[in-house]
């Protein structure tokens, strides 16, 4: 139950320090992983970003305190992490639909976002097909971009990256390099040196020979040798991939004899219509035995 208990420890830490300046590195340390990877998996499992969760909890508590005490708006703003009453009021209105002053009125309706609670729930059994493969180090030629996990922006920016790659000739050039009928990879380079805890590099690429020429606008990257858990995924993109990632982290990894080995993940896209409900792709997760 590594991921589940780690998320639970991190949530406990957040709640215990909710009125303090929260360090994402320390939150991630509670789950024994990098700040970037914790935020990514938190988003996959919980359906909202870490920042969204913290804001929602703070605004919930601020609304309750304003309603039941005589705390001044400026003091509530500072207590719950806002630099000014104006920025606090804007956030408060977006969340609650009323101003902090209106929240004091008798009968004012406020919104409440309850803290996350990690539980082990017995549900109907489901089957996940997967295979374990060993793969040597290999090279890829890719076009790569930086993407942000702030407020789960990557869920929109990565599909947009693929749309642009179709339109600007990137996919056509990669298919020429790989050969007709070969798959194209989506490569999540998490936790590497050219990123920070809020951003990561995502590449669209294909395997290549180590000495293959690199076209302008592309780069050569090395995928390290290792053991990979490979999951087949059927359905239209991008929802099918996003749903499968949720299942991998919520169903497979907590119960399996495997744990994550590194933070690089591969999405393998085979020829076909990605918008078709029968489209087949794969997710490759690097793993080691627990």
Per-residue pLDDT tens digits for 238-255: 899 989 988 888 888 877
- CB-based contact 206:140 (threshold 8 Å): yes
Q: pTM of the prediction?
A: 0.80
Q: What is the DSSP letter of 245?
A: H
Confidence at residue 22, expressed as pLDDT on a 0 to 100 scale: 94
Taking the C-alpha atoms of residue 82 and residue 76, their distance in angstroms, rounded to an integer, is 9
Report the range out of 6-10, 228-232, 236-240 with the highest average pLDDT. Answer: 228-232
pLDDT exceeds cutoff 80 at 263: no
Mean pLDDT of 269-275: 92
pLDDT exceeds cutoff 70 at 119: no
Which residue reads 């059927």 in tokens? 234
Confidence at residue 1, expressed as pLDDT on a 0 to 100 scale: 44
- Least confident segment among 195-204, 224-233, 267-276: 195-204
Which residue reads 């990979």 in tokens? 228
DSSP string spanning 250-264?
A: IIIHHHSSEEE--SE
Confidence at residue 124, expressed as pLDDT on a 0 to 100 scale: 47
Indicate the length of the chain as a whole number.
290
- CA-based radius of gyration for the chain: 22
Q: Which alpha helices (H) appear in the chain, and where do they start and end? A: 2-16, 24-30, 35-46, 50-68, 73-79, 85-96, 154-167, 170-178, 239-247, 253-255
Q: Which alpha helices (H) appear in 103-153, and where do they start and end? A: none
Residue 152, Ramachandran bin (φ over 0: left; ψ between -120 and 50: alpha; else beta): left
Mean pLDDT of 248-277: 87
- What does the pLDDT look like over 173-217, one tens digit per residue? 999 999 888 999 999 987 544 456 778 899 999 999 999 999 999
3-state DSSP call for residue 14? helix
Taking the C-alpha atoms of residue 138 and residue 39, their distance in angstroms, rounded to an integer, is 28
Confidence at residue 224, expressed as pLDDT on a 0 to 100 scale: 92
- What does the pLDDT look like over 141-184, one tens digit per residue? 999 999 988 877 888 899 999 999 999 999 999 999 998 889 99
- CB-based contact 224:262 (threshold 8 Å): yes
Q: What is the dihedral of CA 103, 107, 110, 113, to 10 degrees?
A: 130
- What does the pLDDT look like over 121-140, one tens digit per residue? 545 455 678 999 999 999 99
Taking the C-alpha atoms of residue 25 and residue 22, their distance in angstroms, rounded to an integer, is 9
- What does the pLDDT look like over 10-64, one tens digit per residue? 999 999 999 999 999 999 999 888 888 888 888 888 888 899 999 999 999 999 9
Confidence at residue 18, expressed as pLDDT on a 0 to 100 scale: 97
């Amino acid at each position: 139950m590594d991921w589940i208990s780690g998320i639970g420890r991190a949530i406990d830490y957040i709640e215990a320090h909710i009125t303090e300046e929260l360090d994402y590195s320390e939150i991630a340390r509670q789950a024994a992983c990098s700040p970037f990877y914790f935020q990514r998996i938190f988003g996959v499992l919980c359906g909202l970003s870490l920042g969204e969760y913290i804001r929602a909890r703070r605004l919930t508590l601020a609304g309750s305190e304003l309603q039941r005490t005589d705390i001044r708006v400026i003091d509530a703003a500072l207590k719950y992490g806002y630099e000014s009453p104006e920025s606090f009021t804007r956030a408060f209105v977006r969340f609650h639909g009323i101003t902090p002053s209106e929240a004091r009125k008798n009968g004012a309706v406020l919104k409440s976002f309850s803290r996350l609670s990690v539980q082990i729930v017995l549900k109907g059994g489901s089957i996940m097909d997967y295979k374990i493969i060993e793969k040597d180090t290999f090279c890829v030629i890719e076009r790569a971009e930086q993407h942000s996990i702030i407020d789960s922006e990557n869920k929109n920016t990565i599909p947009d990256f693929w749309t642009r790659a179709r339109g600007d000739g990137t996919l056509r050039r990669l298919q020429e390099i790989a050969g007709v009928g070969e798959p194209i990879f989506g490569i999540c380079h998490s936790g590497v040196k050219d990123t920070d805890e809020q951003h990561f590099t995502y590449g669209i690429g294909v395997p290549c020979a180590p000495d293959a020429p690199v076209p302008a606008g592309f780069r050569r990257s090395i995928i390290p040798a290792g053991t990979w858990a490979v999951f087949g995924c059927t359905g239209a993109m991008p929802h099918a991939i996003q749903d499968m990632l949720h299942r991998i982290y919520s169903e497979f990894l907590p119960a399996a004899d495997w744990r994550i080995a590194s933070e690089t993940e591969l999405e393998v896209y085979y020829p076909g219509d990605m918008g078709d409900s029968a489209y087949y792709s794969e997710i490759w997760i690097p793993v080691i035995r627990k």
